[in-house]
Amino acid sequence: MEDKQKGLEGQLADSYRRDTNAMVLIFAQWCVNHELDPMELYREAYPDQGVPPELVGMLELTVPKEEAGEIETGTLLNVLLAFDNEALAFAVRKRVSS
């Protein structure tokens, strides 16, 4: 039973990691599409934190905005909020409205 529990916990952790990476990639690509520096925007939202390694890694997976599909700002905001990134969502809203 313990092995089954550990297996399930491992699957949940892997799923969360994949979902988190997808959220970070969406954020990074949205920034590229809007000619914004994702690391700068992240630092603006979370000035007391370092840039997470996931963001650095996902930046390598972004494509030039000419090659990327459109990511609606509302979609990005929903994804950020789903992962409790209220401060980052606020920073995105601030940039869009300025």
CA distance 41 to 28: 10
Q: Where in the chain are the domains?
A: 2-97
Q: Which among 40, 37, 31, 41 has a CA at the least distance from the CA of 71? A: 31
CB 76 within 8 A of CB 92: yes
Per-residue confidence (pLDDT) for residue 10, from 0 to 100: 82
User: Is the predicted pLDDT of residue 92 greater than 90, yes or no?
Assistant: yes
Q: What pLDDT, on the 0 to 100 scale, is given for residue 75? A: 96
Q: Rounded to two decimals, what is the model's pTM?
A: 0.87
Position 3 scores a pLDDT of: 77
pLDDT tens string 26-84:
999 999 999 999 999 999 999 999 999 999 999 999 999 999 999 999 999 999 999 99
Residue 1: pLDDT band (50, 70, 90) is low
Distance, in Å, from the CA atom of 66 to the CA atom of 35, rounded to the nearest integer, reads: 11
Kindly state the tokens that stand for 55: 């963001």
User: Residue 98 has what pLDDT?
Assistant: 73
